[in-house]
Structure 1
């Protein structure tokens, strides 16, 4: 019988420092083979809006192979359901047998947050103490915890479209060792933040780049489609731009695709991807006044690393 690793098991076994270092090693070594993920938008007539199917395979030759199948339904908040749902299948890459199934939603949340924290370890200032979280979805709490694993965060500012959800997020973090403040406007949070993490399904920019301060780091996690944006043109023009991987960022996210199509930025303006940073083939933050911008679109390597780590911990 194939074992299913559920949300509770995943959450109880995750350790951000360990996962971050596993990811750093995997990005540096590049042993994992990752085809371009399948991205299919499909009609969803009851919502008068498209949903998305993502298929993300990856394998470490002779060791492990994994495939994530995920649906993204942007209006699911109206039904008190997560927008991202799916399953992860982990196989033995030697003999082809299926080792386990994992809850993809939880796996995705933790590996995404760990990847943002990994990028932050290269791009944010080492003394960053104040984190602003824009968005109150499933990723929000884990992004906050992941960033706090690599920087001395002692204050978290939360903004969400729904103030009640922002207050609910605050309550889930009440036992964490930092002060938490819910703000009414994004602008009021930006002026005090060292790191700004944004994870939303916004189709229009939320962050006004003219308000950014020298030395800030932007961690842009949402905007997973070419018609979505979380950051405006000034955010990009004022920042040193980094991505998790070129192939996905140049194709899938409006935060990069739209300003490139409009000639606001060029391909050469993207300084490095995580593979280069982790191999020390490129430099991250160069000085304390630099504004850094990291765009995460997700990479199947991250899923495979996280899934194999969890499988190890439950002795599979």
Structure 2
């Protein structure tokens, strides 16, 4: 059994190939994805354990064990840690253990890029990243696989972290700068990606221009909210997984209050990629991708890492 650390996982996940692998998975129906298991852990009720299995791809079965500790930022640690166990589907024999944190950040970014390929306008120029963590850092490389972004702007509550990410993106060859004023940056953006653990809205519908695509990847619990109700009721919504409707705060709250109905949130990324539903339908349309992370993405990414390993 191989043990693949973060560096090995990163080396096996070319963004173009990863977006293509996710496109293939979302367009097909061979992967089985049971409902995830979610449990509060320890004395800190804000800490969460997630178990996410999937199987049916290249003869593999995978299980991700992930934890979410919102207070980790104050310790200089990522809020999400994960380990991924890859098994032979036919026998159950272990094949590899992968760094699930690295796997998660890249498959999340690639899923956002895949959604943007169907939902963002072709002529987008300015991309706003709200958040400066590991997922945000992976977004530009994956978006570059589907759109020609001219400038990336970064806003974070911690201005120092925003500046550090900008410097990192510049060294990677991206035109990037800090957005000191979030609302002004939202008004100027063609695409907005939020990757935070926010529990109150950061992106307000009143500030989002017609034609903007909003990519919401941070919220995966009902009390996590990155965009307000005004935006969600104005946007064409696409979800990556059925449970997003009731676990992402941007949808769970409006659905409970009746400002959104189930028919407003029935379009999945799989429907769009497979051609069963339209993506963007008008240039002035506001679109929103609500991503809570489906286990099919993890399995596709892990399988890609395994296939990229040099033969011995």
- Quickly name the TM-score band, shorter chain normalised: over 0.9
Give CA-to-partner distance per residue, 1:154-203, whole Å, 9 cap, x none. 10010000000001111111133432110222112112211000010001
Deviation at 1:62, TM superposition (A): 7.7
Deviation at 1:68, TM superposition (A): 0.2
**Aligned counterpart for 1:249 among listed residues 238, 244, 249:** 244
Name 1:126's counterpart in structure 2.
Answer: 122
Farther off after superposition, 21-30 or 110-119: 21-30
**Aligned counterpart for 1:293 among listed residues 285, 288, 292:** 288
Take 1:88 and 1:198, find their aligned partners in 2: how far apart are those partners? 25
Structure-to-structure mapping, 1:1-316, within 5 angstroms: 2-45=1-44, 49-60=45-56, 63-246=59-242, 248-270=243-265, 272-315=267-310
Take 2:126 and 2:164, find their aligned partners in 1: how far apart are those partners? 20
Contact 1:133 1:144 in 2 (8 A): no
Computed over aligned residues only, the root mean square deviation of the Cα atoms, in angstroms, reads 1.3
Deviation at 1:231, TM superposition (A): 0.5
Q: How many residues align?
A: 311
Farther off after superposition, 281-290 or 185-194: 185-194
SS in structure 2 at match of 1:172: helix
Which residues of structure 2 form unaligned runs of 5+? Answer: none
Take 1:61 and 1:214, find their aligned partners in 2: how far apart are those partners? 39
Deviation at 1:44, TM superposition (A): 3.3
Contact 2:245 2:265 in 1 (8 A): no
Query: Structure 2 length normalisation: TM-score?
Result: 0.97
Give CA-to-partner distance per residue, 1:76-127, whole Å, 9 cap, x none. 0111111111210000111221000000000000001000000000000011
Take 1:12 and 1:89, find their aligned partners in 2: how far apart are those partners? 18
Farther off after superposition, 295-304 or 261-270: 261-270
SS in structure 1 at match of 2:276: coil
Contact 2:23 2:273 in 1 (8 A): yes
SS in structure 1 at match of 2:170: coil
SS in structure 1 at match of 2:145: helix
Take 2:48 and 2:147, find their aligned partners in 1: how far apart are those partners? 34
Deviation at 1:152, TM superposition (A): 0.4
Contact 1:155 1:180 in 2 (8 A): yes
Take 1:113 and 1:64, find their aligned partners in 2: how far apart are those partners? 23
Deviation at 1:237, TM superposition (A): 1.6
Query: Structure 1 length normalisation: TM-score?
Result: 0.95
Deviation at 1:13, TM superposition (A): 2.3
Moved over 4 A (4+): none
Deviation at 1:271, TM superposition (A): 5.1
Take 1:44 and 1:7, find their aligned partners in 2: how far apart are those partners? 29
Give CA-to-partner distance per residue, 1:236-262, whole Å, 9 cap, x none. 12111111122x112211111001111
Take 1:138 and 1:44, find their aligned partners in 2: how far apart are those partners? 27
